[in-house]
Amino acid sequence: MTEDLAYLPATEALRLFRARELSPVELLTAVIARAEKTEPQVNSHAEQTFEEALAQAKEAENAYLPGGSPGALTGLPVATKEEQPIAGRRTCEGSLAYADHIADITHPAVERILAAGGIVHARTTTPEFCCASFTHSKLWGVTRNPWNLEYSPGGSSGGSGAALASGTATLATGSDIGGSIRLPASATGTVGYKPPYGRVPALPPMNLDHYCHDGPMARTVADCALLQNVIVGPHPGDVVSLRPAVYIPSELGDVSGMRIAVAVNLGDWVIDPEITANTLAVAEALRAAGAVVEEVEVGLKRAEVWRAALIHFGGIFGPAVAQIAAEQGDLLTPYAHAFARETAIEPGDFLDGLELEGRIYAPIGALLERYDALICPTTATPALTAGEDYIDTRLVINGVELDHYMEYALTPVFNIASRCPVLSVPSGRASNGVPTGVQVVGSSYDDATVFHVGAAIERVRPWSFRPESL
């Protein structure tokens, strides 16, 4: 029963809290027990504050007594990505170079979670500086995929995805600059949302980078919508945060008559046959839900997408890592050094990158004029190997050696198309036991549609979010 509670959906937990059939202390106790069992193997928590959290859960019980006024998340255990600072707490970003750094500000998303009564009982692991699509570091070690410990949960929000799949958090936060919410969601059988740029406030200077998105992660579509509705909206510290706030509706899943495009490949990605099969199964589920679903060709080139992304990173993200590497190089991981080298750009590259981004978005924009949403794989292969840097070792898919391991991701396309909302939901399982996912892509700033489509997939093709062997 305790382990069942650890996987209780957030929306169901809130219903039981209100009915006084479950207490926040009982739920948090189950989550902590699960962490004590699984964390030695999975290693998804960078920080645990269980005693403090239990005291907060006891206080939360009072909010559900007659006359109480619980917030939207009161009593729910929420794991936040360690990259998102909390004032007075360490924020290391997975790096020995920042091991003693104490934050003096709280991230707006975390601020809102706390204000809504969420209990931040754990903060989750990332790769160093969030500059990789796997999760391991010199500081925290290797974070593993709960579905198969030989594999990574993805990155950079890998700790959040692994915590949800392990039952050691009810909700979690992530951030996404090239797929860092969607890649872990896909690999861990969870739901992750990359909101359109500006929908969720962030901190400067990265809030000004249109590739950057903070967003919710959860085990169900409704839970993901619940958290998104808490963190959304304008913030006085973020000039690009959009007003007014746009909320996801509570009733989700009606796709009757919707026109949905399915692309099993966005162009010339090398796609594992299991990914293709699971993507087509999602298309059939949407047809069963009443949508008009058509297969389409998009025609993008993965090398051009990755080139555009590297140029963009070279203007903002790369130099920040390179500066630390120059000052404290011995402390950094090989993959952080590699990222600094790969993102070095020359004069004129930035304009070339913008022109590339325009060409990349053109077919997507045209497609989303004809269809309500686009479905495509989140990744080209189920998961990366745990602990592997992919510097000396090349990633091979279907016998093809990729030029760069990140060419396994179909996610950077929609950081380029940053105003498009994207929800990653599970599409099935691969033969290695690792989940697979699809991206549900909407027209610019059309948040509700992607949640309707995601909920329809969940209803017709429900997924298991609890690993059998852990």
Q: Which residues are catalytic?
A: 81, 156, 180
Closest CA to 101 of 109, 93, 112: 93
Amino acid present at 98: Y
What is the maximal distance between C-alpha atoms in the chain? 65
How many other C-beta atoms can be found within 10 angstroms of the C-beta atom of residue 294?
Answer: 12
Collapse the DSSP code of 246 into the 3-class scheme (helix H, G, I; strand E, B; otherwise coil) and give the result: coil
C-alpha span between 435 and 448 (Å, rounded): 25
Relative orientation angle of helices 221-231 and 10-19, to the nearest 10 degrees: 80
Is residue 214 within 8 A of residue 202, CB to CB? The reply is: yes
10-37: b or e for each residue (b if 16 or more CB lie within 10 Å)? beebbebbeeeebbbbbbbbbbbbbbeb
C-alpha span between 275 and 283 (Å, rounded): 13
C-alpha span between 80 and 120 (Å, rounded): 7
C-alpha span between 431 and 123 (Å, rounded): 31
How many other C-beta atoms can be found within 10 angstroms of the C-beta atom of residue 253?
Answer: 18
Is residue 394 within 8 A of residue 411, CB to CB? The reply is: no
Closest CA to 97 of 261, 425, 273, 323: 323
C-alpha span between 137 and 185 (Å, rounded): 20
Is residue 302 within 8 A of residue 292, CB to CB? The reply is: no
H helices of 248-348, in order, are 273-288, 302-315, 317-328, 334-342
C-alpha span between 154 and 131 (Å, rounded): 12
Task: DSSP letter for 434, please.
Answer: -
Is residue 92 within 8 A of residue 124, CB to CB? The reply is: no
C-alpha span between 365 and 179 (Å, rounded): 19
Is residue 173 within 8 A of residue 205, CB to CB? The reply is: no
Closest CA to 240 of 204, 276, 275: 204
